[in-house]
Amino acid sequence: AAAGLCPCRVLLARRGGALRALGGSVRGLAAGPETHFGFQTVTEAERREKIYQVFESVAEKYDIMNDSMTLGIHRVWKDILVHKMNPSPGTLLLDVAGGTGDIAFRFINYVRSVRERQLQQKLRHHQNLSWQEISESYQEDKSNSLGDSQVVVCDINREMLRVGKQKAQHLGYCEGLSWVLGNAEELPFDDDKFDVYTIAFGIRNVTRIDLALQEAYRVLKPGGRFLCLEFSHVSNPLLSRLYDLYSFQVIPVLGEVIAGDWKSYQYLVESIRRFPPQEELKAMIEDAGFVKVDYENLNLGIVAIHSGFKL
């Protein structure tokens, strides 16, 4: 009954999709290759436009919606990502589709605390120095609380960046942080620049994932690490049913009530179902040239972290 709405729509989508592909192939020659927007079939250009509009519309309420939909658990997922990254001071991070800055702020917090611990250890070794020498070393260390670490937040959407910058100001993040408007499929950066590349809940919205992965490979330094945090596929049948029920019945309602925007959140849950599962994404990452590609499921596959290295 209640969950029944979902499978019916999937059936309609699949049938409609085949018919449209036939008709669309003629139209497609002029309008561009066909792809999906949630359960709809659209051209690549239309998809990019629609996704831009979705994020423009949700930007202000993005964080509140994330907390409501995941009951705050998205914070834990992001914490796990940064812990897995285990950045040391001096790391240069590129956070793509970084929008409202969640990964960037966690990165800064992490390197700051690692740096503090480093300084404390240094102090312990300096206990045999004179008072003057100790206070001089305070000065030089204080001005470098991040240890030269830096994060570049890159996002295609102006609204998301605007909200991110506002948040940074509000929370007091200023040093080591840059905001760049850019497209994951065509990054405005030179080759071999970054130590780590992250994309958290962003790759699902990229139209040509293969291009984004190639770009990731290009801008990473040799030895650099690729990390992707994204919704993935749940194989456990019971959890899968509950997850579907929650996704399709509750999340669009939350979108309407909290953000006044049903359609964007309908798109969100549909796009999760459309995204390649763990193994397929792993293969795509390997195709881009990454090695030692692996993934870790969180919450039985609701979310997965994929990792790869550039040699």
Partner 1 sequence: RSGEEEEEEEEGVYQLYPGHIPTSPLQKALLTAGSAFMALYDPYRHDMVAVLGETTGCLALPNLRDKMKNHPEGYRILQERPRIRLSTLDMARLQGLPDGSLGREYVRFLEDNKVSPDTRMPPKFVDDEELAYVIQRYREVHDLMHTLLGMPTNMLGEVVVKWFEAIQTGLPMCVLGAAFGPVRLSTRKLQVLATELVPWAIRSGRNASCVLNIYYEQRWEQPVESLREEIGIFPPP
Residue ranges in contact with partner 1 by CB under 8 A: 1-2, 4-5, 9, 12-13, 16, 20, 27, 39-42, 46, 50, 249-250, 252-254, 256-258, 260, 262-263
Q: How far is the CB of 18 from partner 1 (least distance, A)?
A: 12
Which residue lies nearer to partner 1 by CB, 15 or 117? 15
Which residue lies nearer to partner 1 by CB, 248 or 295? 248
Q: How far is the CB of 21 from partner 1 (least distance, A)?
A: 12
Q: Name 87's Cβ contacts closer than 8 Å, sequence gap at least 6.
A: 93, 107, 110, 111, 114, 149, 195, 196
Q: Rounded to an integer, what distance in angstroms lies between the CA atom of residue 72 and that of residue 90?
A: 30
Which residue lies nearer to partner 1 by CB, 117 or 274? 274
* Beta strand segments in 118-239, E: 150-155, 177-181, 194-200, 220-231
3-state secondary structure of 88: coil
Q: Rounded to an integer, what distance in angstroms lies between the CA atom of residue 202 and that of residue 76?
A: 17
Q: How far is the CB of 99 from partner 1 (least distance, A)?
A: 24
Which residue lies nearer to partner 1 by CB, 19 or 181? 19
Work out the angle at residue 112's Cα, subtended by the Cα atoms of residues 110 and 116, and round it to the nearest 5 degrees.
120
Residue 102, phi then psi, degrees to nearest 5: -55, -45
Which residue lies nearer to partner 1 by CB, 256 or 296? 256
Q: How far is the CB of 32 from partner 1 (least distance, A)?
A: 12
What does DSSP say about strands 177-181 and 150-155: parallel, antiparallel, or unpaired?
parallel
Q: Judging by beta carbons within 10 Å of its beta carbon (0-12, 13-18, 19+), is residue 128 exposed, middle or buried?
A: exposed
Which residue lies nearer to partner 1 by CB, 17 or 289? 17
Q: How far is the CB of 70 from partner 1 (least distance, A)?
A: 17
Q: How far is the CB of 210 from partner 1 (least distance, A)?
A: 25
Q: Are 35 and 45 in contact (CB under 8 A)?
A: no
What's at 45, amino acid-wise? A
